A and B are shown apart, each in its own frame.
Chain A
């Protein structure tokens, strides 16, 4: 019994170390002053892409939170025909692979004249169903009496959603923001499919397109790409864990 426990612990320890190997590799191999000079000082290309990615992700998160709060409130507290069918459709869309929507989106953007613009990256990301799903679960837990009391006091529906429901479920809102930010920060397929102009690619695509002979510079670029996500996780780790647990169907 004891031996099996030791064996399992050792196995998980080895797996844990193996998971850390890529990060240790980045940490040790990127230690080159020349590479840091190239990425952070010599060429503005990398930092400009970093700020561009940060701007894109922040815009997506901002709109996504508004849309998710509205959708979450509607699914959790409003009564309308076809609500369950619509919620079911939302879940189906959520589990659908991204590649399924690439071609229809491409055709749509072509007709709208939005190809090769940042709108083609921002618009589909703004309406991802994950946020609505998590916030629906979170808003369901809020007693309807609170909403009724607020409305009796003269609060309109937007005040109820954003001042009461959202603030009572801060961890769920933070969790949605983080998940959407990470999703947007790591996107590669969408920029490659929708943007023709190389100069418009965000940092995540640059990481893929860097030539193999610039390995050290590539690793320093990885450090740059890790920073925002790492800081956000460190800052909001408690809310993230709470929020994910809220997303579980009760």
Chain B
């Protein structure tokens, strides 16, 4: 008597866990921040220096072993800056660590990072938000991976004023282009769960021919895996911690809508 309920529950849980596995693999890949590596010694790049209430720090790149081999994480490494130059900050003493120089989006403590050495040159348009105005800058020799902090540092030098934010229109367009795939993924998740729930009800009522529902649910899961495999969201547009942070996307949309 109880077995049919447990069987239904097992199938439902397995379906949810498979969906979570596919999604978590996708989220892990998307949330990994692309960075370029530098070796700190007596100097570090200006764009790699951050400040909080405890002082100035750089993000040290730490190598770790994980489920998929070697992964890289960043941790805060506090430094004492003696002098700030045009490109480099000179440190008080020496620090011998690998650190993140250019980052595709803002880093947080323990963020997963992927190290790249170089990228192709493309033309891009930057929306530059200054304290009192907004500029639209065409860049013919932009990097294919948009590093916000690097662009900010360059603009700070050329404009000689603080840059609040820089948004790459290439990344925004790329993000908009990926939305249909995300909608399809959402629909596939709903369909897969619905068919699994139907299968569970049929199992509880001990009806025949219920196997087709679980096969359909499995087929939708396979489709979900492939759709997400072909989805690549630009890192600079994504929030730094939770990919489902809807407020972040709404704020970004509102900012761009008001600017353009």
Contacts and interface: CB of A to CB of B under 8 A. Distances in A.
A153 interface: no
Interface of B: 2-3, 6-7, 9-10, 13, 17, 20-21, 23-25, 27-28, 31, 65-69, 242-244
B25 A44 contact: yes
Given A43-B28, A199-B66, A199-B69, 19 more contacts: A37-B242, A40-B20, A41-B23, A42-B31, A42-B243, A43-B24, A44-B21, A44-B24, A44-B28, A44-B67, A48-B67, A49-B67, A198-B65, A227-B13, A231-B10, A234-B6, A235-B6, A235-B7, A235-B10
Interface in A23-60: 37, 40-45, 47-51
Interface of A: 37, 40-45, 47-51, 197-199, 227, 231, 234-235
A74 to B, nearest CB: 33
B17 A50 contact: yes
A45 B242 contact: no
A42 B24 contact: yes
Contact of B65 (A37, A49, A199): A199
B interface: dominant SS: helix
Nearest to A227: B13
Contacts of B68: 44, 48, 199
Nearest to B25: A44
A231 B9 contact: yes
Contacts of B27: 41-42, 44
A49 B17 CA distance: 12
A47 B6 contact: no
B62 to A, nearest CB: 14
A42 B240 CA distance: 12
Contacts of A51: 21
B65 A41 contact: no
A61 to B, nearest CB: 16
6 contacts: A41-B24, A44-B67, A48-B68, A50-B17, A198-B66, A235-B3
